[in-house]
Chain A
């Protein structure tokens, strides 16, 4: 067991601040600064202990009874007590969305009636219910004492919070926010919102039809929603400041094959653009069947440059989910984990972002194991064999992860109540793991460049290249330039496509043999937040990367235009468990988008047919980024897309800023 696993899994009683200090592990400010943040977290955040003997339900009950209530001056009630938390025994279920819809159509207590029991499972949920009742009651009391302008309405909503179904759109939104707040408060990280337009639409339509609300009312509510949810951003951030994961899924294909969206879809999307905040963020499920008008609205929203919406292609993703074994209804209802990994809300214990697999690790071994390689084919075979070994070891490490009991999430996850089994014990309907990957592009480019240099043009021997790599290309600038100018991944390069599919297919065979302790398997994808972290200690390669340089970002190629990368991504094989997020990542200059909006909409609609899996865009020009780095004080609100998250440019570590500038410059050169 690694020291990191030991600290995370077994020192939970003292290591309860880990989620709050984690963001500083990658901020490139050094160990002293990290230590300062850890001490600061211990000073400011205190664990609350409940009944003896300790239990998760007991601790949560005590926490909810003790958190400080904070009533705003107006609008929705939403607060987090940043000074209190719980210490939970193991990894906390995160990077997911709890099933808010279940809490809207039926009161918590009504639902509890179905799930109640005298066993420990039922008792734990009962303890959480007591905590929730206490918190809701204290909010009602505080509202009564407050000068909140709509306090009668809010009081009624909170009095009904646990008892009955939500009675209208506004109450449904307030209730969703309340339970989201509870998720954050109880130490869950990266809490999404799920398919908000779908589950709120019945309330929206009913209230609009009766005249209870107007579109302008909804706009006001959504503005308040985004404003409130973008607060507590430091507390909420996970792997990096800005990595918050409050993703809202919009639109998409229904089980009957029709595309569903409504006016609410557009209103939620436009309100996000209006809010100009990096998080909450939106992802639009797209399809060739979607109305072009919705895509026009999405492209207009892109111009707000918050990185939203991101796009997920239902025409590709839904069939892959069906093939994997999700039931039809679940495949069509998919949402995503905090970034982009397909996730079935309310039915899964699918931890889709457990760890980052680095394809370069096997390449590194290959460079030290070159004996007997006589041909390109030998080299690829050796790499694939090594990659299988490294991937198997990697999976062994995640197999035994320990999970903390989670009565609240279990209560809302299909399978758990029936089996009287917590999600942490495999009670959910779906129990697979998911991992993300980095550096496949760098490996593929390296292998194809080595083929030319060694086996075709015979300019170098393999040993010479390995030595050059050890010296980090010292004195070999022309070789480095050759590698940088000869990119294959992401281009119209049949050999690159075949090599990607060959490597990932073999890896998928390993994945398919993997079984976690709940009987689930493991999925992987070709996009990961780790492209600028895992690379730090890795020597260079023959994609033009020097030691420590960032890996290629998701599915992108700085030498290729938009259509080329989309064509490439559309031809990749995502089957056999390779669907855990595969994102095409672009830079688009704001002027270009503004001047060519109609044709960009056309491009997006046609790109769907080409079969991209997912797509995200940074609408930003290099000049702005360069100036923002030099004069951060002039750009306090500049937002950039980093991985599946957007963040304020000024808050990013320097190496991330540099990478974004480099990619923006390259995009302007190719376009």
Chain B
């Protein structure tokens, strides 16, 4: 049965729940990796989260399945297990500058794949988490229906929004994405006033060219008062084994060295938005 069918009405399709997660938002978090993505980025390191249905795989001679439908209440229960490590709600969560991020509590982060594709099913989970005082973050590429983003703005407390290929043709051909939809959603998200950090994957041959960097800078310039911080994320090949287990070709792309990352940061420095270089 396809997801969305009756049997899955109260379920969320996910591949992993990672507790004690330290790199997906403020504090100590539980990160939920949802399966299914609206983009096909050639450098993707989570190929198991591309397809929106469970997938068989073979690894080290053993068979398995990527993807599990988990009931909403069961997912909320798992997310609440580490509530004691999320910390207390400390003032308002609607922060206005990067310096305040460390004052936010830990909590739950929805990642993927593109987590907002299942936003309607995440609503009851979010409601349970909020009833328990748990902070919620989402990592999104923003290539989703505006209605899904609207729901997310209502329920998600902190966003990591991606900036990837900003050329309309290349976006369509290389990522299978609709740039107009993305730009419209980015505007909608930033205008909503929700706290947003921007993540820019810096991938050799895809997003590291002078034109790519200039386009990203211009976009950030436009919204600079509404962006808490920018994270420049260096590509990695941690997904290789997963590609092999799915019988998919392993993507190859050029390495971006530390000097180039520093140069990129320098180029963005005039925006007066804090810029961090992340290696994971």
Interface residues of A (CB under 8 A from B): 492, 561-564, 566-567, 570, 596, 598-599, 602-603, 606-607, 609-610, 671
Contacts and interface: CB of A to CB of B under 8 A. Distances in A.
Contacts of B20: 561-563, 603, 671
B28 A606 contact: yes
A561 B22 contact: no
Contacts of A607: 85
Contact of A563 (B19, B87, B102): B19
A597 to B, nearest CB: 11
Contacts of A562: 20
Interface string B20-54: 10100001100000000000000000000000000
Given A606-B28, A606-B87, A563 B22 contact: no
Nearest to B78: A492
B82 A563 contact: yes
B85 A610 contact: yes
Nearest to A598: B102
A216 to B, nearest CB: 33
B27 A563 contact: no
Given A561-B20, A596-B22, A671-B20, A567 B82 contact: yes
Interface of B: 19-20, 22, 27-28, 81-82, 84-85, 87, 102, 106
28 contacts: A561-B19, A563-B19, A563-B28, A563-B82, A563-B85, A564-B19, A564-B81, A566-B85, A567-B81, A567-B82, A567-B84, A570-B84, A596-B22, A599-B22, A599-B28, A602-B28, A602-B87, A603-B20, A603-B28, A603-B85, A606-B28, A606-B84, A606-B85, A607-B85, A609-B84, A610-B84, A610-B85, A671-B20
Contacts of B19: 561, 563-564
Nearest to A562: B20
Contact of B27 (A566, A570, A599, A671): A599
Nearest to B27: A602
Contacts of B28: 563, 599, 602-603, 606
A561 B28 CA distance: 13
Given A566-B85, A567-B81, A570-B84, 19 more contacts: A561-B20, A563-B28, A563-B85, A564-B19, A564-B81, A567-B82, A596-B22, A599-B22, A599-B27, A599-B28, A602-B106, A603-B20, A603-B28, A606-B28, A606-B84, A606-B85, A609-B84, A610-B84, A671-B20
Q: Which of A562, A566, A570, A599 has the most CB atoms of chain B within a 10 A radius of its CB?
A: A599
A265 to B, nearest CB: 25
A599 B81 CA distance: 18
A494 to B, nearest CB: 11
Contacts of A564: 19, 81
Contacts of B82: 563, 567
A-B pairs, 9 with minimum CB distance: A563-B82, A610-B84, A561-B20, A599-B22, A606-B85, A563-B20, A596-B22, A561-B19, A562-B20
Contacts of A598: 102
Instruction: Give the interface SS of chain A, mostly helix, strand, loop or mixed.
Output: helix
Nearest to B81: A492
A610 B19 CA distance: 16
Nearest to A570: B84
Nearest to A492: B81
Contacts of A606: 28, 84-85, 87
Contacts of B84: 567, 570, 606, 609-610
Nearest to A567: B81
Nearest to B102: A598
Contacts of B27: 599, 602
Q: Which of B22, B81, B87, B106 has the most CB atoms of chain A within a 10 A radius of its CB?
A: B22
Nearest to A481: B62
Contacts of B102: 598
Nearest to A560: B19
A596 B102 CA distance: 13
Nearest to A671: B20
Q: Which of A562, A596, A602, A671 has the most CB atoms of chain B within a 10 A radius of its CB?
A: A602
B84 to A, nearest CB: 5
Nearest to B29: A599
Nearest to A606: B85
A9 to B, nearest CB: 48
A303 to B, nearest CB: 16
Nearest to B86: A606
A567 B19 CA distance: 12
A311 to B, nearest CB: 16
A602 B27 CA distance: 8
A563 B106 CA distance: 13
A287 to B, nearest CB: 16
A602 B28 CA distance: 8
B231 to A, nearest CB: 15
A567 B81 CA distance: 8
Contacts of A563: 19-20, 28, 81-82, 85
Contacts of A561: 19-20
A563 B29 CA distance: 10
Contacts of B22: 596, 599
Nearest to B30: A563
A83 to B, nearest CB: 52
A660 to B, nearest CB: 22
Nearest to B18: A561
B199 to A, nearest CB: 18
A596 B20 CA distance: 12
Contacts of A671: 20
A391 B22 CA distance: 44
Contacts of A599: 22, 27-28
Contacts of A566: 85
Contacts of A492: 81
A562 B85 CA distance: 11
B88 to A, nearest CB: 10
A367 B106 CA distance: 46
Nearest to B26: A599
A562 B22 CA distance: 12
Q: Which of A596, A598, A603, A607 has the most CB atoms of chain B within a 10 A radius of its CB?
A: A603
B25 to A, nearest CB: 11
A610 B85 CA distance: 8
Contacts of B87: 602, 606
Nearest to B280: A595
A570 B82 CA distance: 12
Nearest to B279: A595
Contacts of A609: 84
A598 B20 CA distance: 14
B59 to A, nearest CB: 14
A603 B102 CA distance: 14
A566 B83 CA distance: 12
A319 B249 CA distance: 59
A598 B22 CA distance: 10
A49 to B, nearest CB: 60
Nearest to A600: B22
A53 B28 CA distance: 67
A599 B27 CA distance: 6
A610 B106 CA distance: 15
Contacts of B81: 492, 563-564, 567
